Amino acid sequence: MIHSFALHVPDAELAPEPLDAAQIVSGSPEVTGKVVWESEDGRQIRGIWQITPGVVTDTEADEVFVVVSGSATVEVDGGPTLHVGPGDMAVLREGDRTTWTVHETLRKVYAINL
């Protein structure tokens, strides 16, 4: 049973989450993260994610996130271009194909529903 908790996000230790080389468009971005809570059925995930500068592509899950530090431009194929930085909240739809241009190391907290 998981109890309520608080976590200081800027200092949280994250583990490497290697990118698939096919996702990297330019630069040498590195991803780290930490799942801090997951529902018993695995369909709800809460965590912290960080990426260093570079350009990567992704196919998104149903996600809401808030940027803690850093900045990026997220281009959604056939949709808007999102400019995100500290304090910004963004919502991504499941299946969105995105290109992330990370300007400075970005750390976010996220909630994903599968």
Phi/psi for 18 (5° steps) reads: -55, 135
Q: Within a domain: residue 6?
A: no
7 assigned to some structural domain:
no
Q: Is residue 34 part of a domain?
A: yes
User: How far are the Cα atoms of 54, 60, 63, 65 from residue 113, in angstroms, in the given order?
Assistant: 27, 11, 6, 12
CATH number, residue 28: 2.60.120.10
Range of the domain at 43: 15-113
Give this prediction's pTM. Answer: 0.95
Angstrom distance (rounded) from CA 68 to CA 89: 10
Residue 54: the pLDDT is 98
Q: How many domains does the chain have?
A: 1
Q: How far apart are CA 92 and CA 114, in angstroms?
A: 12
Q: For residue range 60-89, list pLDDT tens digits in order.
A: 999 999 999 999 999 999 999 999 999 999
Expressed in angstroms, the distance from the first to the final Cα of the chain is 21
